[in-house]
Structure formats: structure tokens, C-alpha cells
Amino acid sequence: MPPDVQDDPALAAEVDRLLARRTREISLRGEIERLFRARVWSQTAKIIRAWMIWVAFLDVLTLALNAALLPWGVAQSMLLPGAIIPPVALAVVLAWRKPQAPWLQGASLIAGMFLILLSVALVGASAGGEFYERQLNVMLFVAITAIIIFGIPLAWTMTIAALALGLYLMLQLQNPAIAHGSAVAGTLFFASGIFATVAARRIMTILAQKTFLFELRDRRRVAELAKANDRLVLLARTDPLTGISNRRWMTETLERLWGSDKRCLAGAAMLMCDIDNFKKLNDHLGHAEGDRCLVKVATILKENVRRDRDHVARYGGEEFLVLLPGVNEEEAAAVAERMRKSVEAAALPNPGSRVSRWVTLSIGVAVQTSEAISPEQLQQRADAALYLAKQTGRNRVLLHRPELSARKHIRPGSLGA
């Protein structure tokens, strides 16, 4: 298949320019011509190889029938010129087994066709009599079939047509059974038919090229649409400020990981993270500084998780949700503590904070071990632990315990500022 045209703006522009022209004016040049040849080479090569094999087979069959049905003297005169075709056809088949330089394959095809046409004509010239005229007509028929079915460049087609007509005229001028004027008239008659066939072949080639151009344009448009869809999906699942996942994507991830029954994920931890006194940071330093703080904290959280397994999302405002599959309580608490220390060590200013002059983080941790619970329940437990961490001084990590949910002053889902 041809490469993606959208990767080459100049190529895409050339495709559009060619398609804007009338069909008969389409002419491929440069890179597009190379791509078209590469696109059709396999089919063209198969046709040429099959044609050569059939011509060789029919030649051998015809020589055998001639030997059986004709007087031996006539049949013997046909053997030597007729024997040229099989090795020539085999040589062309070998030359067209794999792609090579265009000039080389063109030369091999034209030389092979010349020798095949010459062989057919010489069979008649050697036998003489009624076979002379008949074999010349057969030669023209062979040339016409090749012109019709070979999807080759127009210059190659014209060369084959000129060779066929040239051989016909030369041998007819040497035909003792007809006058020179009749030879020329016959050549002109057949020339009109052959060049009409060449014109038809040209139209077929142009239509194939136009189809190829449509294919290039459609592939480019499909690729552009796919990229646009990917961008929309990314925008729908990414927080535009921090560049990490948003709440919607995290919800979809939780549903996917837990499965349809929402109770099948064993060994997972959920971390609810909240920036302490974030409102005061905005009040004292402005929302631009607050946005920079959110971006930095999101980066720190991502740096402290496993890239291939863990998930980090901005859950809303200054809240972040972290999912750690396949960890126990000790491992989850260690990750949370590493996050908290990293945020504090970043020394992001928060002059209005009642905890520290720097930005700090409170984290609630809930771990699902042997008990199968839903992601909503696990989140509520992490939320409850976070709430207690903020109520008991902030800038700390608190692991959820069963008794936390029973405390009346803890309201899961309600976070301090």
C-alpha cells in the first residue's frame, strides 16, 4: 500500500491538483508516478508472466500440431524460428519475478516482445505461401493482446505497437505475393486499429491512475479524521490544565478494571489527595500561580507511580485520585508518603497556609485486600481517611481503618479546603 499522503503536504497538494483536472489531462510525474508503479507492479507483473507462459505454451502446441499435420518440409522450416519464443518468454518471466529498475524491466519486456513478434513473423516467412500472410496477421494479433492487457507506461506500449507495425511493413514489402502499394495500404489499415487499441489502453491507464489518486486522497482524509477523533477522545479524557487524566477517564478505568460485577479486582489501593489550604494560595498569589501549583503537583504524583500499571487523575479542583493495582497496605502507604514528601520538598510557595509556608498535601489511603468491594466503596473509604487527615492537622497520610467510617463527624465525600 502507498504511504500516508498526509505526511507529505506537497504530495497531498499534487494529488488534489491532479484530481481537479479533467480525466484525460491526468498525467502522473515524479513521486506520485513512482508510487503508482509500485502500487500496480504486482498485478502487472502477474499478467505479463501469465501472458508469456501462455504464449510459450501455445507456440509449442502449434509447432507440435504443425509437425503432425503439415508436410515435414513445411513443418521443419517453422521449427527454428518458432523455437525462439519459449526461452525468450522464460527470460521475461524471470525478469518480472521481482521489482527492478523501471528502465531494466521496460527494456526486458520490449526486447522480449520484439523477439516474440519476430519469431511469429519469421515462422510464416520461412514457410511461405499461405502461411506468410497468416503469420503476419497472427503477429499483429499477439501484439494487440499484449497492448490491451499490459498495464505498462504509454511509451512502452507505443514502442511495442511501432515494432509490430514495422515488422509487418518490412516483411510485407518482401512478400512476393503482393505489390508494395498493397503492403503499405495494409500496414496503414492495421495501424489505425492498433493505435485505436493504444488509445483505449491509455484511457484504461488514466482511469486506473485516477482511481489511485482517489485512494490516496481518501486515505489521507480517513487518516485526518482518525487523528481528529483521537484528539477529541484525548480532550474528553484529559484534564486541559494539568495534562493528566480527568475524572471521567478515571471513572471509566475503574469500571473497566473492576469488571461488570464491580467486585472482582483484588489487591488495589486508592489514594485521595488534596492540596492543603489551596484557596488561600489563590487568594494570596492569584489564580495563575494556583494553576502552576496544580500542574506541578500533578507532575509530582505521576513521577511517583508505576507508569505501566498505576493511574493518576485530577478529580476536581485541587483533588487528585490515584489508583494502585496489586499493592498491599504497606506499599500503598509508602507510595502516598513519598508523594507527600515530594510535594513538600518542591517548595512551592503558599504564604497563606496555616500548615506551612510551602504547599503541602493530605492523602487518604484505602486498600482492598481480601474483602471484595466496589470502586465506589473503596473511594468512599479513601475519602473518609482524607477527611480525617485534614481534620487532624493536614500534611499527612492516613490509612483507612474500619472504625473511621463509624465516626459521626466524618462525612465521606466532604473535604476541607
Percent of the chain with pLDDT strictly greater than 70: 93
Grade residue 408 by pLDDT with cuts at 50, 70 and 90. Answer: very low
Q: What is the reported pLDDT for 374? A: 86
- In 3D space, the residue among 162, 182, 164 whose CA is nearest the CA of residue 172 turns out to be 182
Grade residue 403 by pLDDT with cuts at 50, 70 and 90. Answer: low
Grade residue 48 by pLDDT with cuts at 50, 70 and 90. Answer: very high
Q: What is the reported pLDDT for 163? A: 96
Q: What is the reported pLDDT for 5? A: 55
Residue 325 — φ and ψ, nearest 5°? -70, 145
Q: What is the CATH number of domain 247-406?
A: 3.30.70.270
Q: Quickly list H helices, 70-179.
A: 72-82, 85-95, 102-127, 130-149, 154-173
| Whether residue 281 has pLDDT greater than 90 | yes
Per residue, the 3-state secondary structure of the chain, as one string, reads CCCCHHHCHHHHHHHHHHHCCCHHHCCCCHHHHHHHHHHHHHHHHHHHHHHHHHHHHHHHHHHHHHHHHCCHHHHHHHHHHHCCHHHHHHHHHHHCCCCCCHHHHHHHHHHHHHHHHHHHHHHHHHHCCHHHHHHHHHHHHHHHHHHHHCCCCHHHHHHHHHHHHHHHHHHHHCCCCCCHHHHHHHHHHHHHHHHHHHHHHHHHHHHHHHHHHHHHHHHHHHHHHHHHHHHHHHHHHECCCCCCECHHHHHHHHHHHHCCCCCCCCCEEEEEEEECCHHHHHHHHCHHHHHHHHHHHHHHHHHCCCCCCCEEEEEECCEEEEEEECCCHHHHHHHHHHHHHHHHHCCCECCCCCCCCECCEEEEEEEECCCCCCHHHHHHHHHHHHHHHHHCCCCCEEECCHHHHHCCCCCCCCCCC
For residue 122, the number of C-alpha atoms closer than 13 Å in the C-beta half-sphere is: 15
Q: What is the reported pLDDT for 407? A: 47
Catalytic residue list contains 303: no
| Whether residue 224 has pLDDT greater than 90 | no
pLDDT, tens only, 87-120? 999 999 999 999 989 899 999 999 999 999 999 9
Grade residue 265 by pLDDT with cuts at 50, 70 and 90. Answer: low
From 133, 255, 318, 337, the catalytic residue: 318
Q: What is the reported pLDDT for 260? A: 54
| Whether residue 28 has pLDDT greater than 90 | no
Q: What is the reported pLDDT for 13? A: 86
Q: What is the reported pLDDT for 33? A: 86
Residue listed under C-alpha cell 474500619: 402
Higher pLDDT, 87 or 266: 87
pLDDT, tens only, 185-219? 999 999 999 999 999 999 999 999 999 999 989 98
Grade residue 221 by pLDDT with cuts at 50, 70 and 90. Answer: confident
Domain range annotation of the chain: 5-221, 247-406
| Whether residue 251 has pLDDT greater than 60 | yes
Query: Looking at residues 400-411, what average pLDDT do you find?
Result: 55
The pTM assigned to this predicted structure is 0.62
Q: What is the reported pLDDT for 308? A: 87
Higher pLDDT, 178 or 273: 273
Grade residue 159 by pLDDT with cuts at 50, 70 and 90. Answer: very high
Query: Looking at residues 114-141, what average pLDDT do you find?
Result: 94
Query: Looking at residues 326-339, what average pLDDT do you find?
Result: 94
Residue 236 — φ and ψ, nearest 5°? -70, -25
Residue listed under C-alpha cell 486515505: 219
| Whether residue 266 has pLDDT greater than 90 | no
